Amino acid sequence: MGSEFDSIREVPRQPIIEMSADTLHEVPAIHDTLPDGRETIVIGDVERCKEFNHLQGDNSLGFRGTCGLVSCEDVLRQFGVQVTEDDVVRHAAERGLCYVTDDPDHCGGTTVSDQAQILRDYGVPAHPEQLGSLERLSECVESGRGVIAEVNAGYLWNDANYVGSGEFNHAICVTGVARDPHTGEIQGFFINDSGRGYPEDSGRFVDADTMRMAWEEAQGMCVVTDLPNMER
């Protein structure tokens, strides 16, 4: 595996795939009911984005620590860029944009800088941003931007095995916001999570308290696309 990445290649400065301009579409907002029965307004293309999620590790290099890379794949596909996890993993590995070591189980990790660079490489301008609050996170999602959130897996999955030191240790895509239709209060978010392979982790509702614990308390770090998604 190491011999494939010994040489340093010149990285073209142009994006790999040019995106064409299109008419700006509004972010969908629909009345719905949360799993706990509360009335809500769901803002975001949650249903359409479900198909972009899958269990991480589906790549020819056998890398398993690819939550950040799969989140990049998710955002790229949301923006109409047709890529697979394998495409993104190989792109990252060839350019030193993910962690590579002898054990494929531990390979594929990315920094927020790596994630933003990968999106840019594929023609989707993006940047790391410490949003820091659920309200700012909502604003990004509601404005149609692609959002990768860095979270603590243990708090997100309610599993003590994966809390560690409480830092962020997992990446997910945020695809929608749930707001109380009467007060506008944030009730939670909808996410695509590649970590467990559960079908319900595609477009999964995470209540605000859990998101506060898993993301906001871990300093609220994200990768956000510079522009809204015009592919709807």
Q: Which residues contact another protein by CB under 8 A?
A: 64-65, 67-68, 98-99, 101, 103, 105-106, 108-114, 128, 130, 150, 153-155, 157-171, 195-197, 218-219, 221
Closest Cα to residue 202, out of 229, 231, 176, 230?
176
- Burial category of 4 from C-beta neighbours within 10 Å (exposed 0-12, middle 13-18, buried 19 and up): exposed
Closer residue to another protein, CB minimum distance, 65 or 176: 65
- Report the alpha-carbon distance of residue 169 to residue 160 in Å, rounded: 13
- Report the alpha-carbon distance of residue 86 to residue 162 in Å, rounded: 26
Least gap, CB of 20 to another protein (angstroms): 31
> What CA–CA distances, in Å, run from 180 to 49, 184, 208?
22, 5, 12
DSSP-H helix ranges across the chain: 46-50, 67-78, 85-94, 112-121, 134-142, 153-157, 208-211
Closer residue to another protein, CB minimum distance, 63 or 122: 63
Closer residue to another protein, CB minimum distance, 42 or 206: 206
- Report the alpha-carbon distance of residue 149 to residue 128 in Å, rounded: 10
231 close to 78: Cβ distance less than 8 angstroms: yes
Least gap, CB of 82 to another protein (angstroms): 25
Describe the crossing of helices 112-121 and 67-78 by its angle, rounded to 10 degrees: 30
Closer residue to another protein, CB minimum distance, 5 or 99: 99
Closer residue to another protein, CB minimum distance, 144 or 195: 195
- Report the alpha-carbon distance of residue 124 to residue 116 in Å, rounded: 9
Least gap, CB of 113 to another protein (angstroms): 4
Closer residue to another protein, CB minimum distance, 42 or 69: 69
Least gap, CB of 153 to another protein (angstroms): 6
Least gap, CB of 190 to another protein (angstroms): 20
Least gap, CB of 109 to another protein (angstroms): 3
